[in-house]
Structure 1
Amino acid sequence: MVGISSDIGASCLYVANNATNYPFDCPSLDLNYKCRCDDPAFLGTILICIDDVSETVESVSNSYNYIIDVCSLQANKKYSFRNLINVFENASTNLVEYNDYQNDYNSIDFAHLNYPVRIPQFQYDIAFDSISSLLKHRYTSTKFGAGLLAYWGFICLLGTINNMGFWCAPSILMSLNGQLSRYLRRHLFTPQLFSRNTNKKRSTKWGKFISSIVRTLPTRPQSLSIIFYIMMVVLFTSVDYHFTMPNAVFGTYSNEKLIYISDRIGIMAITQIPLLFAFAGRNNILIYLTGWSYRTFNIYHKWISRVVWIMILIHAFLYITFSNNNGDYIKRWGLTKWRWANVASICSSLSILLSSRSIRNRFYEFFKQFHQLLAVFFLIGCWYHCITLGWMEFLYTSIAFWAYDHLIRIAKILISGGILYADFHSIRLTINHSGWWRNYPGSYVFLYFLKPTMFWQSHPFTLIEPSTIKNNNQLVIIIRIKNGITKRIGNYIKNYPNLKVKIPVMVEGPYGTPIAFRSYNHAVFIAGGVGITIVYTFAMDLARQYQADILRGEYTQDEHSITLYWITPTIKTLEVCLDEIESLAKLNINFNIFITRMELISLETLKKEKEKEKEKEKDTNANIDSNRIKNNVNDDPDSFIPHVSKKKENRQFIDESSIPNKRIVKIIKNQLSGVKVNMGYKPYIKKDLTEYLRIIQGTAAVISCGPDELSRDARAGTANAILQNADKRIDYFEEELLW
C-alpha cells in the first residue's frame, strides 16, 4: 500500500545509496537504480546488512522481495530469490568491515568502492528511524484518505435512509413536521445556497459575472456537503506530522517537511480517484439507493475533481521544489513515474479548465469526447506513477467502476434490442424496442443516432407515456432542439416531406429513479418548456393512483388534488404535446398553461392593441390582482388565480385564423375543460407556491422540472411555505431537465 514492503530492506537500501558515505562505481544521482542494481558490491552491502539486523527468516524473505521489486520496477533488472542468495554468498567472502573501508577511503589512491561493506549499527539505526517515520506518515495519510471516503459513504447513507423513509415508512415521515423539522427543511434541505436576491442578475458586467457564478452553485444541502468535505481535506492536510532528524532518507529538515506535506496531499488525492469514477457513472448503484439524480452525483463529481486537482498541483509543486533543492530536477525526467506523473497532472488540468461552463456549453461535443480521453490518460498516468510507489488498490477500484459502468451500458443496449429505427415526426420520435422492459415515470434513455457524423455520441432523452398505447414496447420522446447533435438532427429532418423520417438508433436504458410522492394529499407540478415531458408522466401516474384510492374508498375527491403549471414561450410545444394535453384534461387535474411570448388577438384589434399597450397592461394587471385578492380571500384552492408578471414578455401577436390546427385553437381559447391557458404572461412561481400551499389542506409535494431560474423560484416558494404551515408536511422534489 505504501510503496515500502520491508522497513529493514528499505533502511539498508537508503544507507548504501548514500553516495557520500558509499561511493560505489555508479553516478551519484542514480535515481532509478539502473547502475546500482547491476553492481554486486552495492547489492552485497545491502544483503549483508539485511542478514545482520534480521531476527527471523520471514524478515529476511520480505527484505529480499523488496529489493527484487525495486530493481524490477525501477531499474528493469530482474532477479530471482536464488540470484540474491548467490550475491549474498559472494559478498560474504569479499566483505570488508566499515572501519577497514574507512582507512581505504581516506587513502590517496581511493577512487570507487568495488567491494561490499558491513554497515555499522549507528547508520542503520538512523535509517531505520527515518524509514519507520516515513511509513507511519504514509499510513496516516492513507487513513485520512480513507476517512474522506468514509465521509461520502456517510453522506450517501443519510440519503439512503431518507429515501427508504419516503418509500417504506411514509406515514412516519409525514408525522415529522415539528418546528425543528420545518426549520431544517426551510433553511437547510430545500433552498438554494444563496437567497433569490443574491441570485438575481446584476446590471454591471462584474455583477453579471458574479451572478453567473452564484447561479451555478449547488443547492444548500449539496453545498454544505461539499464545504464540509473541503474542510476535512484542509484539516487532514494540516495535522499529525512527526519529523525525524537526523534523516537518512531526505537529509535536511526542510526537505523532509516538503516531502511529508507533498506525500500527505498526493496520497489523499489518489484515494479519492474511485469517487470520481463512481459518481460519474451512469449506472451508479447509489442513485437507486439514495434516490438522488444523476445530476446530483455529477455535481459532487465536479467538486471532488476540483479538490483533487488542487491537491495534485500542490503535490507536484512541492516535489519540484524538493528536486530543485537536491539539484536533480533534470535527472528525474529519466524516471518513468516522474514522466507519467506529469502526464496525469496535465490531463487533470486540461480536464478541469475545459469543463468550465462557457467552454462546455459552447463546445459540448468536443468537451465530452475529449474529457473521456483525458480521463483515460489521467488514469494511465496515475497507474505508471504509482506502480512503484503503492496505492494501486485505489486505481484497481477506479478501473472496476469504469468497467462495470460500461459493461452495463452495453448490456442495456443489447437488452433494448440493439439497432432499432426511430420514427421522427417533427421533434417527436417513436421507437419500438425489444419489450424486455417498460418505461416508468421519470425514466429516460441515452440515444445513439447511427449516422456517419454522430454515431459515437449519446445523449439523454426523457421518455413520455404514449397517450394512446399501441403496444407495450413503444417509446415516445420529444426532443428539445439545442446546439450540437439535436440541431443537426433537426436540420436533417427538415429535408424530408411532412418532417417525417426513419433514423437507425441504439437505445441505452432505462435510467432514472421514481419519486415517492404518492403518500401526499396534494401534488403541485411545475414544468418549464420541454420539462412537461417529465412532469406529464408523473402527473398521469399520480392521477391514476388517486383515482384508484378514491374508488377503493380510501380518500374522497376533496382530499386529493393535482395542480400543474406549465410555462412555455410559444404554442409550438403545445402542437407537439397535443395528445398529452388532452389526456391530462380528461383527469381531475388543475392544469395551468402560460404561453409567455404569444397572445391571441383578432386582426381588427391588433392595431388598437399596439397603440394602447401601455394602458391596457396597467388595466389588465389591476384587474388580475383585484380578482386574485377577491378569490383568494376565501382560501378556496379551486378558485386560486396565479400572480402574473407585471412586465409582459416580448410577445408575438397571433390571429386565430393563422392557426390551422383547431384543437390548438380550442385549447388556447380555454374551451378544453380542466385546462386554463394564459397568454402573454408568466406566473410568479415563488409567490404562487407560498400562497397556494397555504390554502390547501393536507400534506403536499412540489415537483419541479425546468430551467435553473424556474427551479430556484420553486425551491424558494416551497421553502417559505414549509416554515409558514405547521399543520401539514410539505416537501420539494426536483427532476433533471434533459434534452
Structure 2
Amino acid sequence: MKIVDVVLLSTLLSVASASHQWYHYNNDFYVYYGCLSALGKSATFCKKGNVGKCVCTNENALGSLLYCGYTSTKANNTGINKEISKGCVYYNVTDLTNSYYAEVYAKTLDTIVDVSNSTSFNKTEVVDYPVTSKKLKKLSHDFYISVRNRRGNIKTSHALGIAFVAASVFVMLASGVVNWSMRLSKGVSSSLDNALTRKTRKFFNLAIFRNHLHPTVLGFSPDVVETFWISIMFLYSILSCCIIGYKWYENDPSFTSYQTGTSRYWGDRSCILFSYQLPLLFLFPGRNNFFQWVTRWKYSRFVVYHKWLGRIVMMEVLIHSFAMASQTYGLHKNTRFHADWYRYGIVSTVCGCLASTVAIYAIRKHWYEIFLGAHVTLVVMFLWTGWKHTRSQLYEQFYWTCCAIWVFDRFIRLCRIALNGIHTATIEFFPGDDATIKVHVKKSKLYRNFTPGSHAFISFLSKNTFWQNHPFTAYESVTDPDTITFCCRVKKGVTRTIANKFKGSDAQSIQLKILVEGFYGEQSYYQQYDKSVFIAGNTGIVGPFSHIEKLVSSGSADRRIELYWGIRSYDALKWFGAELLSLKDKNVVPRVYISQPERSSINSSTDSTDSDHKNEEGDGILATEKKLSSPELETDLQQVLEFVEIIHGRMPVTEIIEAELKENTGTVAFGACAHTQVVDLVRMEIAKRLPSTCKRVDYFEEMQTW
C-alpha cells in the first residue's frame, strides 16, 4: 500500500476512535429515566435545581428513586445504581457507591410515605421524607415506555448507521480481495472462468443500460453493478428512515400527540443515519481515497457513488428538517426559531440543497469553475453550520471527521504538487479538425510514481489559467525516457486559452510553467493475458499506448498486441506519428481507421481568422492549410508509417470484436478509450459474446468520465 494511504487510513481510524461516544441505552436506563421523570412531576425535594441533581445530594429524593426503580419488575438493582451514578457524574458527584445505595434504601423502607390518598400533600412544596404513590408508579411506567421508544429509536438508528458503513466497507473489501487476487495470480483468474461466471459477468458485471455514457441532467448513468448498489443504498435508507422501528405510545407524557412523537422519531432516525454516511460522502470523491487502491475500482466509480450518496444524504437531511419542523409546530414551540442551534440547522439544510443543485451536469459541463467554487463554498458552509447545529447534541464529531478527510486529502494533493515541483513544460500545438496540444514535462527526481494509464491534474501557470487544474492521461515519451507527455484535445476553457497563445506565431512550441498533481489511477493488468486488444479514438489513444509501451518492454514474444485507433483525418498522425513509429518491429499490430480522410491537411497555421473550416466546438482554432488530395497524403504517410495498416472509414467495432474472439486461442483482454458511444458498444459486444468464449476474456474501460 502506498505510504499516503497508510497515513490516511491511520488518520481516519484515530478520528473515528475519538468520535461521538454512542450511549448504549439499556432497560436499566429506561427504568431509571422513567422513575426520575415521574419523581420530578410528583414531588419536590430541593428548593433549587432539577430532580436529576437533587437525587445526587438529597437522601429522600434518592431513596424515592431507588424505591421506584427497585420495585419495578423490569429493573436490576445494580443496574439502577450504575445509571444513577452515571447521571450524578454530570453534576460532579462521584462518591456514590453500592453500599451507600443499600444504606439509603434500607432507611427508605422504614420512612417512605405513600401519598396516594393524602389530602395534605402538595407536590410543589419541599418534603423531608421519601415518597411513593399509585400516580407516581403509573407515571413512571408511562415515562418508561416513552423513553424506551425514543432512546430505543436512537439506539436502533446508531445500529443502522453502523450497519450501513460496515456493509459498504465489506463490499469494498470483498471486491478488493477478488480484484487483487486476479491481478496477482493468473491461475485465480482462470479458475473463476466458467459458464456461471460468464453469464454473471454478461448480465451483471459488464452489463450497462442504454446510453450509459450519454449524460443526462443527473450526469452519466451508472452501469448495472453501480445501479444495483445505489438501489440497495436507497432502499436501505428509505426503509431505515420511514419504516423500521417506530412505535408511538398513546399515553406518552413527553409526546402527547402522534404528530409530535413520530416527527421526533423520524427526525432522530434520519439525522443519525446521514451522520454515519457523511464521512463516506467526503471520502469517495477524494483523489487520495485509499479505497481506490483497496478495491482497484476506477476513480469515476467512486465519483458515481459520491453523487448518489449525496442525493441520499440530502433526502435524509430534508426528512430530518421537515420532521423537526412538524414537531415544532405540534409542540407549539415557536421559541425554537429564536434558538441559534435551530437557525444553524435551517442554514445547513439550505446550503446542502444548493450544493446539490449546482452539481447538476449542465452546470458542471458549461460552467465548471463556477460550479467548483460554489460547490466548495456551500459544502464548507454546510459543514460549519451543521457542526454548530449538532454540537449541543454531541454529534459534532461526525463533522470533524468529514473535515479531517477533506483537509487531509487536500494536504496530500499539495504534497504531490510540492514533490513534483514547478516544471517548465514544452507545449506543442497541432491544429486541424481535432486540434491537439502536447505537453512535455520532465519527471520529478523526488516523486516517480507514474504507471501506465495514470493521469495527473495540470495547472498552467498563466494569468488566466493558474487557478484551474484539469486531468489528463500521460505516457512516457518515446524520445526521452525521463519525460512524461500529455495529449490534450483543444476544447473550450483552459486548452483553448493555451492554443490561442500560438496565434500569429510561427513557433512550433512554447515554454510554460506548470504544476503537476499526480499521478493517479491503478494500472490494468494486461500482462496476465495471452493477447491484448486496444480500441481507441482520437486522444483516447494515450492510455492504451502507455499500456502497450509497458507490454512491449516486458519482452514476452508470445504475447499478441492489437491496436485499433479511430481518427477523423490524417491530421492526428502529425501529433502521434512518432509514437506509432516507436512500435515498429515490435509484436504490435496497429490499425488506423480514418473516417474523413478528405479533411486532412498540412502546413498548419494557427490564424483562426482566415480558416476555411471550424472545429465542432466552434473554437476557431483551425487552420488555413494547403490541401492535398487524399491519395497524395495517404501515399506520403504510408511511406513514413509503412507498417501501419491505414483504413478509410469508421471503425467497425462489432466486426473487430467478433474477429478477435473468433481467432482467439488463449486469454484475451480488451481495453477501450474512445468516444462514449464506441466505448459503450465495445462493452456491450464483449458482454454479449462472453458465454460462448472458451477462454478467459476481460474488459478494462480505460475511459473515465465524471
Structure 2 length as normaliser, TM-score?
0.78
Candidates 685, 691, 695, aligned match of 1:717 = 685
Q: Measure, in 1, the Cα distance between the counterparts of 2:696 and 2:624.
A: 45
Aligned twin of 2:588:
589
Instruction: Please tell me the residue identity of whatever aligns with 2:498.
Output: I
Answering whether residue 199 of structure 2 is matched by residue 183 of structure 1, we say: yes
Contact kept in structure 2, 1:51 and 1:60, CA below 8 Å? no
Answering whether residue 549 of structure 2 is matched by residue 540 of structure 1, we say: yes
Contact kept in structure 2, 1:601 and 1:656, CA below 8 Å? no
Paired residue secondary structure (1:247): coil
Paired residue secondary structure (1:333): helix
Contact kept in structure 2, 1:413 and 1:508, CA below 8 Å? yes
Instruction: Please tell me the residue identity of whatever aligns with 2:312.
Output: V
Instruction: Please tell me the residue identity of whatever aligns with 2:203.
Output: H
Q: Identify unmatched segments of 5+ residues in structure 2.
A: 1-20, 67-76, 95-112, 430-436, 602-622
Aligned twin of 1:636:
none
Q: Measure, in 2, the Cα distance between the counterparts of 1:282 and 1:144.
A: 28
Q: Measure, in 1, the Cα distance between the counterparts of 2:186 and 2:424.
A: 42
Correspondence list, 1:427-506, <5 A: 427-438=437-448, 439-469=450-480, 472=482, 474-494=483-503, 497-498=506-507, 500-506=509-515
| Residues 181, 154 of structure 1: alpha-carbon distance in 2 compared, 3 angstrom cutoff | same
Q: Measure, in 2, the Cα distance between the counterparts of 1:136 and 1:687.
A: 62
Candidates 689, 699, 703, aligned match of 1:736 = 703
Aligned twin of 2:353:
349
The superposition leaves residues 667-695 of structure 1 with CA deviations (integer Å, 9 ceiling, x where unpaired) of 7447623312233x212313431333122
**1:452, distance to aligned residue in structure 2 (A):** 3.7
Paired residue secondary structure (2:518): strand
| Residues 475, 221 of structure 1: alpha-carbon distance in 2 compared, 3 angstrom cutoff | same
Correspondence list, 1:34-183, <5 A: 40=49, 52-53=64-65, 59-66=83-90, 120-183=136-199
Instruction: Please tell me the residue identity of whatever aligns with 1:598.
Output: P
Q: Measure, in 1, the Cα distance between the counterparts of 2:600 and 2:685.
A: 33
Contact kept in structure 2, 1:177 and 1:729, CA below 8 Å? yes
**1:699, distance to aligned residue in structure 2 (A):** 1.1
**1:282, distance to aligned residue in structure 2 (A):** 0.4
| Residues 736, 65 of structure 1: alpha-carbon distance in 2 compared, 3 angstrom cutoff | farther
Instruction: Please tell me the residue identity of whatever aligns with 1:344.
Output: S
Aligned twin of 1:27:
none
**1:445, distance to aligned residue in structure 2 (A):** 1.4
**1:662, distance to aligned residue in structure 2 (A):** 13
**1:464, distance to aligned residue in structure 2 (A):** 1.3
Answering whether residue 427 of structure 2 is matched by residue 420 of structure 1, we say: no
Aligned twin of 2:614:
none
The superposition leaves residues 98-134 of structure 1 with CA deviations (integer Å, 9 ceiling, x where unpaired) of 889997989xxxxxx7979989454344324322332
Contact kept in structure 2, 1:446 and 1:508, CA below 8 Å? yes
Paired residue secondary structure (1:584): coil
Paired residue secondary structure (1:53): helix
Instruction: Please tell me the residue identity of whatever aligns with 1:171.
Output: G
Correspondence list, 1:230-309, <5 A: 230-237=234-241, 238-309=243-314
Candidates 676, 688, 692, aligned match of 2:656 = 688
Structure 1 length as normaliser, TM-score?
0.75
Instruction: Indicate the percent of aligned positions where both proteins have the same amino acid.
Output: 24
Aligned twin of 1:708:
676
| Residues 102, 430 of structure 1: alpha-carbon distance in 2 compared, 3 angstrom cutoff | farther
Q: Measure, in 2, the Cα distance between the counterparts of 1:339 and 1:114.
A: 38
| Residues 100, 412 of structure 1: alpha-carbon distance in 2 compared, 3 angstrom cutoff | farther
Contact kept in structure 2, 1:65 and 1:81, CA below 8 Å? yes
Aligned twin of 2:644:
675
Candidates 552, 556, 559, aligned match of 1:549 = 556
Aligned twin of 1:227:
231
Instruction: Please tell me the residue identity of whatever aligns with 2:428.
Output: H
Q: Measure, in 2, the Cα distance between the counterparts of 1:16 and 1:494.
A: 85
Aligned twin of 2:516:
507
Aligned twin of 1:614:
none
Paired residue secondary structure (2:507): helix
Q: Measure, in 2, the Cα distance between the counterparts of 1:401 and 1:601.
A: 50
| Residues 222, 601 of structure 1: alpha-carbon distance in 2 compared, 3 angstrom cutoff | closer
Instruction: Please tell me the residue identity of whatever aligns with 1:301.
Output: H
Aligned twin of 1:631:
none
Contact kept in structure 1, 2:153 and 2:246, CA below 8 Å? yes
**1:344, distance to aligned residue in structure 2 (A):** 2.1
Correspondence list, 1:354-393, <5 A: 354-393=358-397
Contact kept in structure 2, 1:189 and 1:221, CA below 8 Å? yes
The superposition leaves residues 367-421 of structure 1 with CA deviations (integer Å, 9 ceiling, x where unpaired) of 112212222222223222221223444334323322331221122122212x232
Further displaced range: 709-718 or 8-17: 8-17
The superposition leaves residues 630-664 of structure 1 with CA deviations (integer Å, 9 ceiling, x where unpaired) of xxxxxxxxxxxxxxxxxxxxxxxx99963699997
Instruction: Please tell me the residue identity of whatever aligns with 1:53.
Output: L
| Residues 296, 44 of structure 1: alpha-carbon distance in 2 compared, 3 angstrom cutoff | closer
RMSD after superposition:
3.9
**1:51, distance to aligned residue in structure 2 (A):** 7.0
Aligned positions, number: 619
Q: Measure, in 1, the Cα distance between the counterparts of 2:523 and 2:632.
A: 32
Aligned twin of 2:411:
407
Q: Identify unmatched segments of 5+ residues in structure 1.
A: 24-37, 69-79, 83-95, 107-112, 202-210, 603-653
**1:465, distance to aligned residue in structure 2 (A):** 1.2
Paired residue secondary structure (2:452): coil
**1:433, distance to aligned residue in structure 2 (A):** 4.2
Contact kept in structure 1, 2:161 and 2:277, CA below 8 Å? yes
Q: Measure, in 1, the Cα distance between the counterparts of 2:331 and 2:359.
A: 36
Q: Measure, in 1, the Cα distance between the counterparts of 2:443 and 2:364.
A: 32
Contact kept in structure 2, 1:4 and 1:135, CA below 8 Å? no
**1:485, distance to aligned residue in structure 2 (A):** 2.4
Aligned twin of 2:401:
397
Contact kept in structure 2, 1:448 and 1:456, CA below 8 Å? yes
**1:361, distance to aligned residue in structure 2 (A):** 0.5
Contact kept in structure 2, 1:12 and 1:46, CA below 8 Å? no
Contact kept in structure 2, 1:670 and 1:676, CA below 8 Å? no
**1:568, distance to aligned residue in structure 2 (A):** 2.3
Further displaced range: 513-522 or 420-429: 420-429
**1:155, distance to aligned residue in structure 2 (A):** 1.8
Contact kept in structure 1, 2:351 and 2:378, CA below 8 Å? yes
Further displaced range: 138-147 or 655-664: 655-664
Aligned twin of 2:326:
321
Q: Measure, in 2, the Cα distance between the counterparts of 1:16 and 1:301.
A: 49
Paired residue secondary structure (2:526): coil
**1:549, distance to aligned residue in structure 2 (A):** 2.3
Contact kept in structure 2, 1:306 and 1:352, CA below 8 Å? yes
| Residues 9, 717 of structure 1: alpha-carbon distance in 2 compared, 3 angstrom cutoff | same
Instruction: Please tell me the residue identity of whatever aligns with 1:151.
Output: A
Further displaced range: 213-222 or 439-448: 213-222
The superposition leaves residues 187-227 of structure 1 with CA deviations (integer Å, 9 ceiling, x where unpaired) of 11112134x7xx799xxxxxxxxx94699311111111212
**1:164, distance to aligned residue in structure 2 (A):** 1.4
Q: Measure, in 2, the Cα distance between the counterparts of 1:452 and 1:7.
A: 65
Further displaced range: 8-17 or 365-374: 8-17
